[in-house]
């Protein structure tokens, strides 16, 4: 009798992912109510929106960021140590990089195609839209040579302190390979990092228990500030970006998953959707790393040996959603300002956006910074970025969800090809 009661309690208990999704919807509704029904004033603006909601939302983001660097470092060291064989590591790394670069190039091509079909910049009344030129002037974009050099840390401790993820990844991989090579001679260090990784995973679960509060606050503040009115002049641009994101997320990725693994894409989406919702609300790929690794392992049977290597790498260099925004933004700017782009310009945009994604950090709105590099490559006016800045937050949320889905699909494919997916777990109904 007691056992039956316990089982009933367990069934009634709402899972964390469900709580996150509920918080997302309730937050959006609350934000809309605040924007349209509550009059402006100190209580609404300073106390609720920029006080309570801002502190809770940003507090949660900071907690997630606090975890990211030590977690990524330990995960990657343990992952590369577990793979052990440098040939196998090179094989996994090569496949992962190839997947990320190819899908990014496809993403830009999809975006340019949608931009050509929907023509979001045509008929736009430029006088109605405020251009924040001053904001653009402060943006800097790194050159290609600098992007490549930035991969190598000149001071690994500085990279760890500043959260330079690409540099942290390189250093962690080197340490992991050496520990695997030394074996028993470095057993103490290997055990220490492995145990510290367990500590970080446990801390992640503690922080994740606060996720519904963080998600609610972030979403409520976003909608309270934006409302719907800001979207109307740029509705076509938004629709174009969202269609391209949907094609990439639910079309390209799922076809690749089916072709290379034979796994059910619908089941994949269903199991991974809560992580996508979480990424949407936080708008940061880095903060989603722990949840992605955990979900892939528990719900899809993907080995942590693979995911602890590919997910942090993907959060840093695989920015398909960002590349899509850049592709559509190029078409939008060219059409709005009446600039004709040649087929060679399109090739340049695909190449530049793909390479720019490598140097893009997994933090909110950073895609706007690398967009200057893409615009400059084909001679488009950078002022156009100011036009889309006002609504970028909501699109940033959507493209982050696509970014992390791409990382998860790549991880599943690479793991499957290395016999590191428990298909029973994957096929198990929730």
The band of 407, judged by pLDDT with boundaries at 50, 70 and 90, is: very high
Query: Which residues have C-beta within 8 Å of that of residue 426, sequence separation ≥ 6?
Result: 263, 267, 268, 299, 300, 301
pLDDT tens profile 13-32: 677 767 877 888 898 889 88
Lowest average pLDDT, out of 148-162, 266-280, 298-312, goes to 148-162
Average predicted confidence (pLDDT) for the chain: 81
Domain definitions of the chain by residue range: 73-177+231-427
Whether residue 242 has pLDDT greater than 90: yes
Q: How many CB atoms lie within 10 A of CB 208?
A: 21
Residue 73 pLDDT > 50: yes
Higher pLDDT, 166 or 173: 173
Q: Please give the pLDDT value at position 336.
A: 83
More confident residue, 198 or 272: 272
pLDDT of residue 138: 43
Q: 134 falls in which pLDDT band (50, 70, 90)?
A: very low
Helices 265-282 and 253-261: crossing angle, nearest 10°? 140
User: What is the C-alpha to C-alpha distance for residues 124 and 109, in angstroms, rounded to an integer?
Assistant: 24
Give the pLDDT confidence score for residue 166 in this predicted structure: 73
What residues contact residue 369 under an 8 Å CB cut-off, 6+ apart? 139, 140, 141, 360
Q: State residue 137's pLDDT score.
A: 44
278-288: b or e for each residue (b if 16 or more CB lie within 10 Å)? bbbbbbbbbbb
pLDDT at 277 over 60: yes
- For 73-177+231-427, CATH gives 1.10.3860.10
* pLDDT tens-digit map of 79-116: 778 766 667 777 888 888 889 989 988 999 999 999 99
Amino acid 191: pLDDT? 93
Q: With b meaning 16 or more CB within 10 Å and e meaning fewer, what string describes 259-273?
A: ebbebebebbbebbe
User: What is the structure's pLDDT at 37?
Assistant: 85
pLDDT at 198 over 60: yes
CA separation for the pair 152, 166 (Å, rounded): 8
Contact (CB, 8 A) for 67 and 282: no
For residue 127, the model assigns a pLDDT of 47
Q: Is the pLDDT of residue 12 over 70?
A: no
- Cα atoms in the 13 Å half-sphere on the side-chain side of 251: 9
State residue 11's pLDDT score.
Answer: 46
The pTM of this model reads 0.78
% of the chain residues with pLDDT over 90: 20
pLDDT in tens, 43-62: 888 888 889 999 998 888 88
């Amino acid at each position: 009798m007691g056992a039956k009661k316990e089982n009933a309690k367990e069934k009634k208990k709402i899972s964390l992912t469900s709580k996150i999704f509920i918080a997302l919807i309730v937050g959006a509704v609350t934000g809309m109510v605040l924007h349209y029904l509550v009059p402006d004033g100190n209580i609404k603006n300073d106390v609720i929106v920029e006080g309570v909601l801002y502190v809770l939302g940003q507090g949660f983001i900071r907690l997630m960021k606090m975890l990211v660097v030590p977690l990524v470092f330990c995960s990657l060291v343990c992952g590369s140590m577990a793979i052990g064989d440098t040939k196998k590591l090179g094989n996994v790394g090569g496949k992962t990089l190839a997947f990320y670069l190819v899908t990014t190039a496809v993403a830009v091509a999809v975006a340019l195609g949608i931009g050509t079909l929907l023509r979001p910049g045509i008929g736009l009344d430029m006088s109605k839209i405020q251009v924040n030129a001053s904001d653009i002037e402060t943006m800097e974009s790194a050159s290609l040579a600098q992007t490549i050099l930035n991969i190598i840390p000149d001071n690994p401790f500085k990279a760890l302190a500043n959260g330079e993820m690409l540099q942290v990844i390189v250093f962690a991989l080197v340490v992991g390979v050496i520990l695997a090579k030394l074996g028993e001679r470095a057993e103490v260090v290997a055990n220490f990092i492995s145990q510290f990784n367990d500590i970080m995973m446990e801390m992640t679960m503690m922080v994740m228990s606060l996720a519904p509060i963080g998600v609610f606050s972030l979403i409520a503040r976003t909608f309270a500030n934006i409302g719907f009115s800001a979207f109307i002049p740029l509705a076509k641009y938004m629709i174009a970006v969202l269609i391209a994101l949907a094609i990439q997320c639910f079309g390209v990725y799922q076809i690749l998953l089916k072709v290379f693994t034979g796994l059910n894409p619908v089941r994949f989406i269903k199991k991974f959707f809560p992580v996508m919702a979480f990424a949407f609300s936080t708008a940061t790929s880095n903060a989603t790393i722990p949840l992605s690794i955990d979900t892939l392992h528990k719900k899809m049977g993907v080995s942590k040996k693979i995911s602890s290597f590919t997910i942090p790498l993907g959060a840093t260099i695989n920015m398909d959603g960002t590349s899509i925004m850049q592709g559509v933004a190029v078409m939008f700017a060219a059409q709005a300002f009446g600039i004709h782009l040649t087929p060679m310009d399109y090739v340049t945009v695909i190449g530049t956006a793909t390479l720019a994604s490598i140097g893009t950090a997994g933090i909110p709105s950073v895609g706007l910074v690398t967009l200057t590099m893409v615009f400059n490559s084909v001679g488009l006016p950078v002022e156009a970025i100011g036009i889309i800045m006002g609504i970028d937050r909501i699109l940033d949320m959507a493209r982050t969800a696509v970014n992390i889905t791409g990382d998860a699909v790549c991880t599943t494919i690479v793991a499957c090809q290395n016999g590191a997916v428990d298909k029973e777990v994957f096929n198990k109904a929730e």
